[in-house]
Structure 1
Amino acid sequence: MTRYVALLGSINVGGNRLKMADLREALEREDFESVETVVASGNVLFDHDERPSDGLAEKLAWVVGDRFGIDTFAAVRTKTELEQVLAESPFAGASEDKLVHVHFLAGQPTRAQFDRLVADHAGRGSEKLAPGTRALHIDFTDGVAGSKLTSTFIERRLGYKGTARNFRSIARIIEKFA
């Protein structure tokens, strides 16, 4: 068995309320083991037979849609992958951990897709952007709340669904892997 984390998008935002106890129970019924949630925003640690993360992501999204009627995206990563994505961020230590985010993506954008995102974002805000491994690194220098750099904006330019977490949340998730 391998330990994974699923970072679910659209959970407990925009009216998609979901109790983490209900989510744990639903996943345990679908052969996910040692299910544990971290923070009430769709972060789920679990054990599962090793398989490609794309397959697990689809299974998780299907369970949430089928059981709770919520259309979600799941980014599935191992502890090592989370640690690597933090290490590759050029914004680590440059700003407050709550302002530095990783937008976890379903796939790897090309350089041309990233360049399009940067060009289309020019003049829209002060955020700093950098490409990552199946991720987009973002420093929300002036805060997240008023930013025009939304998930929809990002996904349209990069061509992949995604979900974001700040450095503080990612660090808590990594701690829980132990």
Structure 2
Amino acid sequence: MARLVTFLGSINVGGNRIKMVDLVTALTDAGFRDVSTVAASGNVILTDDRDPSMLEIQLESVVEQTFGFKSCAMVRTQDEIRYAIDENPFHGTGPRYGSDKMVHSIFLSQQPDKSAVDALIEEHRSKGSERLALGDRVLFLDYVHGVGVSSLSNKVLERRLGCKGTARNMISLKRILDKMVA
């Protein structure tokens, strides 16, 4: 049985409020094992041996049926979380707020077309100071001045890359990895 993390998108942003205890209960009632959360933003750690793509569908369904809104679920292994930290070229280099607060790994539902990523990077060069790079089913992004002031919103990224995604900063990812290996 593998320890996995699920990143649920759209949790506790906008009107999509969920208490983590209620999320744990809903997932446990749906048959998931060893369910715990990290922070109040839809980071769920669980133990499972099923195919991650099937788990994503099941997790999305539980959230929609129980809480009444759509969420995307990205299931990743410990190694994939470690990769999202270690291979992020901006990790430890951000100029603001202790560097890692603005540096994100955006977990993607599929590998985007490299030409779409290259076009986004080229177009954005003249529009903002954010830095972007592509990994394996992850987009590395340094928001530099903050997510709230960036034109690279999740909706823009999803539209441009042709896939869903949900972001976590380096500080959160390190906490999640620590809890996964504990």
- Give the TM-score taking structure 1 as reference length: 0.96
1:131 aligns with 2:134: yes
After superposition, give the CA deviation of every residue in 1:110-158 in whole Å (9 maximum; x if it has no partner).
2112112223423321100000110100011112221111001101111
Describe the SS at the equivalent of 2:128: coil
User: Is the aligned partner of 1:77 residue 2:80?
Assistant: no
Q: Which residue of 2 aligns with 1:100?
A: 103
Asked whether 1:144 is paired with 2:147, we answer: yes
The separation in 1 between residues aligned to 2:124 and 2:70, in whole angstroms, is 27
Displacement of 1:74 in angstroms is 0.7
Aligned to 2:172: 169
RMSD: 1.0
User: How far apart in 1 are the matches of 2:146 and 2:67?
Assistant: 31
Q: Provide the residue aligned with 2:46 in structure 1.
A: 46
Question: What is the CA-CA distance between 1:29 and the residue it aligns to?
Answer: 1.1
1:4 equivalent in structure 2: 4
1:62 maps to what in 2? 61
Q: Secondary structure at the match of 1:66?
A: helix
Q: Quick one: distance in 1 between partners of 2:27 and 2:55?
A: 11
Alignment-mate amino acid for residue 29 of structure 2: R
Structure 2 residue identity aligned to 1:85: A
CA distance in 2: counterparts of 1:31 and 1:94, whole angstroms? 41
Deviation at 1:73, TM superposition (A): 0.3
C-alpha distance in 2 between matches for 1:35 and 1:69:
21
Letter in 2 for 1:104: F
What's the counterpart of residue 111 of structure 1?
114
Whole-Å Cα distance in 2 between the matches of residues 7 and 104 of structure 1? 8
- Report the Cα offset of residue 39 of structure 1: 0.2
Q: Which runs of 4+ in 1 moved over 2 A?
A: 119-124
**Partner-residue secondary structure (3-state), 1:145:** helix
Question: Which runs of 5 or more structure 1 residues have no equivalent in the other structure?
Answer: none
Give, in angstroms, the shift of residue 52 of structure 1: 2.2
Alpha-carbon separation, structure 1, partners of 2:85 and 2:160: 23
Contiguous gaps of at least 5 residues in structure 2: none
Partner of 2:20: 20
Which range moves more in the overlay, 120-129 or 57-66?
A: 120-129
Q: Bigger shift: 71-80 or 138-147? A: 138-147
